[in-house]
Amino acid sequence: MTKRQEQGGEGAPRRAFPVRLGLIVGGLVLAGLVVEQGLRVVPAGNVGVVFSALGGVKSPPLQEGVHFVTPFVDRVNLYSTRTQEVTLSHARGEGDEGAIRARSKEGLDITADVTVRYAINPGRAAELHQKLGPAYERVLIAPEIRSKVRDAIGQVNAADLISTQRQAVEVRVSEALKQEFARNNILLDAVLLRELRIPESVAKAIEQKQTAEQQVAVERNRLQQANISAQRAVVEAEGAAKASVARARGEAQALSLRGRALRENPQLIQLTVAEKLSPGINTVMLPSDGNFLLDLKTLQGQGVGATKPGD
């Protein structure tokens, strides 16, 4: 064996070692890449909808936490499950859309500022992803709010809208949106009619009409009070008349009873006469069967005459 052969035999293992090391490092890198592509974290307040390049959208969605999906094949789309809101207002802020323009029942222009709170149905996020995708607010939420608010305002007069029917319109919009959202896997939380604006000239006319109606109501109340007072006086007069009739009837009945008593008991006549004459005239009623009155003066005169001498 020559010297070069000996040197070459010694160098072969040295060249094999870097190749093996490269394979190990490459394997580790590939494994790390696979792990990185396969591990997915779903943050709090979210669900993850998995889309597979081989099988499409997977259900059910991934809940909060760490999950392993098929690397390079599955993609996770995050959807917030927290309550969200969309505002349609004339004072447009960041992310807000413009106010809703509608017409009342009589055709007057009405401008409405509305805020709607909602959340997606976590268990149906996969269906939401299939039907609408991440742009569901622009595609569904805002257009449906505008449509339902216009429909509700169109059923009410402007005067009623800003006075007595505001809450009824809010309820009508809520019921319509709840049904439409439910068909698209969205849960309605609340509908808030923040402001309803009508033309200034119409507002003044409505205010004047309401003022006149209030004055009429005040006058009607006064008239009712006067009628009540008059009715009370009539009732009191009728009561007094009925009381007089009752007293007269009682007195007549008393006289009738007294007359019948006198007819049945003649002695009461003498008693009554005695009561009327007393105490000016001295009389006495003797309790004898004859029932007569004795004049004391006559008895005294007869007694004196009987005792005169010579008689």
Average pLDDT, integer, range 199-210? 74
* pTM across the whole model: 0.58
- Same domain? For 244 and 272 the reply is no
The CATH number assigned to the domain holding 149 equals 3.30.479.30
- Inside any domain, residue 247: yes
- Inside any domain, residue 311: no
Pseudo-torsion of CA 204, 205, 211, 213, nearest 10°? -160
Give residue-wise pLDDT tens across range 25-63: 666 666 666 666 778 899 999 999 999 988 889 989 999
Angle between helix 200-264 and helix 267-277 axes, rounded to 10 deg: 110
- Residue 141: name the closest of 114, 110, 169 by CA: 114
Q: Which domain holds residue 63?
A: 3-80
- Same domain? For 256 and 169 the reply is no
What is the overall mean pLDDT for the chain?
Answer: 78
Contacts of 44 (CB under 8 A, 6+ apart): 64
Asked if residue 75 lies in contact with residue 51, where contact means CB atoms within 8 angstroms, the answer is yes
- Inside any domain, residue 15: yes
- Inside any domain, residue 7: yes
- Same domain? For 125 and 214 the reply is no
Top-confidence residue, 154 or 198: 154
- Inside any domain, residue 142: yes
- Same domain? For 174 and 92 the reply is yes
- Inside any domain, residue 240: yes
Q: Coil, helix or strand for 75?
A: strand
- Residue 141: name the closest of 178, 196, 195, 93 by CA: 178
The token pair at 283 is: 């009389």
- Inside any domain, residue 44: yes
- Same domain? For 189 and 159 the reply is yes
Contacts of 15 (CB under 8 A, 6+ apart): none
Alpha-carbon gap, residue 286 to 185, rounded angstroms: 116
Instruction: Out of 7-21, 62-76, 140-154, 264-278, pick the least confident.
Output: 7-21
Give residue-wise pLDDT tens across range 83-98: 999 999 876 554 556 8
- Same domain? For 182 and 232 the reply is no
Matching residue, tokens 């696979």: 34
Top-confidence residue, 116 or 223: 116
User: What pLDDT score does 306 carry?
Assistant: 44
- Same domain? For 207 and 191 the reply is no
- Using alpha carbons, list the distances in angstroms from residue 71 to 56, 59, 74, 156, 223: 15, 18, 6, 57, 86
- Residue 192: name the closest of 281, 86, 263, 271 by CA: 86
- pLDDT above 70 coverage of the chain, percent: 70
User: What pLDDT score does 128 carry?
Assistant: 95
Alpha-carbon gap, residue 81 to 284, rounded angstroms: 117
Most confident region among 43-57, 90-104, 151-165, 276-290 by mean pLDDT = 43-57
Whether the predicted pLDDT of 18 surpasses 60: yes
Q: Which residues of 287-311 are buried (b: 16+ CB within 10 A; e: fewer)?
A: eeeeeeeeeeeeeeeeeeeeeeeee
- Same domain? For 112 and 173 the reply is yes
Q: Which residues of 250-260 are buried (b: 16+ CB within 10 A; e: fewer)?
A: eeeeeeeeeee
- Inside any domain, residue 164: yes
Most confident region among 214-228, 239-253, 271-285 by mean pLDDT = 214-228
Alpha-carbon gap, residue 249 to 256, rounded angstroms: 10
Question: At 112, which helix (H) or strand (E)?
Answer: strand 109-120
- Same domain? For 96 and 70 the reply is no
Residue 273, Cβ density class (10 Å: 0-12 exposed, 13-18 middle, ≥19 buried): middle
The token pair at 116 is: 């709607």
- Among 198, 214, 232, the domain boundary falls at 198
Average pLDDT, integer, range 190-200? 88
- In the chain, the number of structural domains is 4
- Same domain? For 64 and 125 the reply is no
What is the separation, in whole angstroms, between the first and last Cα of the chain? 219
- Among 168, 198, 228, the domain boundary falls at 198
- Among 32, 52, 80, the domain boundary falls at 80
- Same domain? For 181 and 245 the reply is no
Alpha-carbon gap, residue 110 to 299, rounded angstroms: 117
The token pair at 238 is: 């009728």
- Same domain? For 65 and 164 the reply is no
